[in-house]
Structure 1
Amino acid sequence: MNERATTAEGVRRTNLAEVLRLVHHGGPRSRAVITAETGLNRSTVSDLVSSLVDAGLVREHDPDPTRRVGRPSPIVAASPDVVAIGVNPEIDAVEIGAVSLGGAVRLRARIATSDPDVAEVVDIVTRTVQEWRAGELAGCRIVGVGIAVPGLVRADDGLVRLAPHLHWNDADIAGPLRAALDTPVVVGNDASLGVRAERLFGAAHEHTDVVYLNGGASGIGGGLVLHGQLIGGEGGYAGEWGQTAASLTDAADRRADGGVLEDEVNRARLVRAAGLDAPDDAELEAALASPGDAADEAARQRRILAATLGNAVNVLNPSMIVLGGFLGSLRDLDQQGFDDEVRARALAASAEHLELASAALGADRLLIGAAEAALERLLSDPLG
């Protein structure tokens, strides 16, 4: 192949990827809109869309006849039959979701367990995906599996260096799961994948500078987007907010001498104060809203969390802070009061354009983020 042909094919692959990302991240749109957004000519867009249709990656349908003005342009939508599997192992359950192109969770399952090791997670995921392949996902194309792990994940190869609450050290989960399912597997930190999902599909969609904190049974992790780029750090370990020193404005709020943030702002403490066993986030939030020990503990944790976020605003000057999991539940008890407290803890100039939100994707955020990582190879080279 000559250099000109190679260059032309490279440009075409880039354009195919751009069109597929548009309908995946932005939703269905007409060929005319794709033409305007990409700056390509109509015939090129027609060829690209036809290739994606032939590959089963997108579908076309007629536009809404009630909105027809002039010559109608077909609507291009991501195929719901192209899916990636998102997985989130936690100390109390393994959550699994089938996420279609377009970011919709098509199926999800939560399998209760206790401190699962790698072999147990591989077994649970393998059995679930095989059942889906034979049932609800029969005829679908599964392009890969993404795993959102609450711990330090090496960016180069997905090795879980440390997931302390799961007791995983230098654990390879990608290899065994890839062998069991004969499917590509990627692994990432849960909060980093969570901020990716909220940035693409959720509360931070319009923002390029985002701080995200995720609160789960294993503790608190975080993700950071600056100038539209996900920040991973030298080894991929950036964002461990839970391991930073707790910001206490009142010494009486301390419960763990020398403890870090996740020792003080802690889901297990809330669950115990509420007298619950193994609640999901919605059940826990309902209990925290009732007067009593649970409400007092929630108020204490809100104060510490707000002070911590004030520090984050001063250091990073984000336009958006998103809170997921039980941290979102703490904020939702009194959103305006919490947001005002965060701004009061920050420099006025740094906080003047700040927005705060609870994770818009709710319980699906980590599954969508993990699936997005698994879809990246396809999105980068749709016909590769």
Structure 2
Amino acid sequence: MSDPSPAEGVRQRNLARLLRLVHLEGPLSRATLTEATGLNRSTIADLVAELVRAGLVEERAPDPSRRVGRPSPVVAIAPGVLSVAAHPEVDALTIAAVGLDREIVRRERIDLDHVLSPEETAALVASKIAQWRAGPLAHARIVSVGLAVPGLVRAADGLVRNAPHLHWTDSPVRDLVAAATGLPTFVGNDASLGALAEHLYGAARGIDHVVYLNGGASGIGGGLIVHGMPVAGAGGYAGEFGQNRPGIAAETDRRARGGVLEDEVSRSLLLAAVGLTAADEPTLAEALAASDDPAVTAELARQRGILSTALANAVNVLNPSVVVLGGFLATLAAHDIDGLTAAVGAQAMPANMEGLGIRVASLAEDRLLIGAAEAAFEPLLADPAAAAS
């Protein structure tokens, strides 16, 4: 295939601008798109028509509340354009069908009594897609798959270098899933994808300097947004806060000799404290809130204290505007977010605490799935013209 001419290249970029605007902002009138892009009305109408023909957007009746000037049709993402997002963990595989409009149209959690292999993960994802295509998503258009993996993922080729809790080492998960599903596949670190989702749509929307920490069954990971851009690092491994060694003032508070942060601030220890062996995040949060056991109170206080030190170190190094906590870390924070902020402030540089907000992830359980779908949609968003070819 020959390279596009300069005119074709400009058109591709303009199509991508329009589709990305509607994807990120939701339904927009043609007049708003004209203002946002600086293109003239006839060009916008032509570009929108091409996106409609590609099945990526639809036009709706003008907003009746707009009473001044000529009514302008509203452009919205077409329903049924989907990515399948999956999040393998040590105790479950969560799979969702996520629309280009960010609506989660299907979501299932498959509880497991064993640790998934890469091959089983690929087979389960492919089986679920086939099941959905034969049933509730028979008329949908599934364009890609995104996996949020709790481990180190090489950015260049999606190779999972090390997901220690899953026992995956140098696993070609992207290729396995792509072969099993026949769909373009993206694989990324789960916490980095959570950071992306919260930055674009959640608790850190519109904020350019963000530290995100995610707590799950496989430990603690993180993601960074600097100057509005995700920071992946040289190999794609940035943000592994859970592997830092925490400062623990009292030796009696230590649970793992020489342990890292995720050994001390741990979902499994919280589950054990309330007498559960497995639970999703809402169930764990409810169990912790309902308990009046002094041992549970003590464990919450111990983990919050260690977490506050880890967050203070991150604040000192990175000087973010916002720290966002997801998963069981959100549960720890929500218990007393003002108290956690004060504990961080007592250990951080005062200047770095100025204006700092500590927030829980507003996308809740959907954050990793939305992040995985967002990354999987990127080729389509970058070149929507290819969808029409």
1:266-325 residue CA offsets vs partner (Å, 9 max, x unmatched)? 000010011012111111112222222222111110111111111111100001111110
The amino acid of 1:34's aligned partner reads L
Partner of 1:239: 239
TM-score (norm 2): 0.96
Partner of 2:33: 34
The amino acid of 1:332's aligned partner reads A
Partner of 1:181: 181
1:117-140 residue CA offsets vs partner (Å, 9 max, x unmatched)? 112111211111111111111121
Partner of 1:76: 75
Distance 2:296 2:171 in 1: 36
Show the 5 A alignment for 1:216-231. 216-231=216-231
Distance 2:181 2:258 in 1: 44
Partner of 1:372: 374
Instruction: Specify the SS of the correspondent of 2:259.
Output: coil
Contact 1:150 1:189 survives alignment (8 Å): yes
Pick which of 245-254 and 362-371 moved more: 245-254
1:41-74 residue CA offsets vs partner (Å, 9 max, x unmatched)? 1111111111111111011111332343321111
Instruction: Specify the SS of the correspondent of 1:248.
Output: coil
The amino acid of 1:26's aligned partner reads E
Partner of 1:96: 95
What is the deviation of 1:248? Answer: 2.0
1:304-352 residue CA offsets vs partner (Å, 9 max, x unmatched)? 1111111111100001111110000100111222122222321111111
Distance 2:256 2:97 in 1: 39
Contact 2:63 2:71 survives alignment (8 Å): no
The amino acid of 1:382's aligned partner reads P
Q: CA RMSD in A?
A: 1.5
Indicate whether 1:47 and 2:46 are aligned: yes
Distance 1:211 1:2 in 2: 42
Distance 1:34 1:202 in 2: 23
The amino acid of 2:88's aligned partner reads P
1:244-264 residue CA offsets vs partner (Å, 9 max, x unmatched)? 011324333211111100000
1:57-104 residue CA offsets vs partner (Å, 9 max, x unmatched)? 011111332343321111111122101111100000000011101212
Instruction: Give ranges in structure 1 of 5+ residues lacking alignment.
Output: none
Distance 1:298 1:67 in 2: 51
Contact 2:84 2:144 survives alignment (8 Å): yes
Partner of 1:214: 214
The amino acid of 1:60's aligned partner reads E
The amino acid of 2:347's aligned partner reads R
What is the deviation of 1:240? Answer: 0.6
The amino acid of 1:375's aligned partner reads F
Contact 2:194 2:368 survives alignment (8 Å): yes
Show the 5 A alignment for 1:136-147. 136-147=136-147
Contact 1:191 1:223 survives alignment (8 Å): yes
Instruction: Specify the SS of the correspondent of 1:211.
Output: strand
Distance 1:27 1:250 in 2: 50
Partner of 1:321: 323
Contact 1:153 1:187 survives alignment (8 Å): yes
Q: Percent identity?
A: 56
Partner of 1:167: 167
Partner of 1:291: 292
The amino acid of 1:291's aligned partner reads D
Partner of 2:304: 302
Determine which of 353, 356, 378 is the counterpart of 1:354. Answer: 356
What is the deviation of 1:2? Answer: 11
Contact 1:287 1:294 survives alignment (8 Å): no
Contact 2:63 2:72 survives alignment (8 Å): no
Contact 2:63 2:73 survives alignment (8 Å): no
Indicate whether 1:331 and 2:333 are aligned: yes
Show the 5 A alignment for 1:97-176. 97-113=96-112, 114-176=114-176
Distance 1:72 1:288 in 2: 53
Contact 1:249 1:307 survives alignment (8 Å): no
Distance 1:248 1:231 in 2: 28
Instruction: Specify the SS of the correspondent of 1:379.
Output: helix
**Change beyond 3 A, Cα 1:2–1:230:** closer
Contact 2:219 2:266 survives alignment (8 Å): yes
Distance 2:276 2:2 in 1: 68
Pick which of 153-162 and 135-144 moved more: 135-144
Partner of 2:344: 342
Distance 1:296 1:119 in 2: 41
Instruction: Give ranges in structure 2 of 5+ residues lacking alignment.
Output: none
TM-score (norm 1): 0.97
The amino acid of 2:350's aligned partner reads A
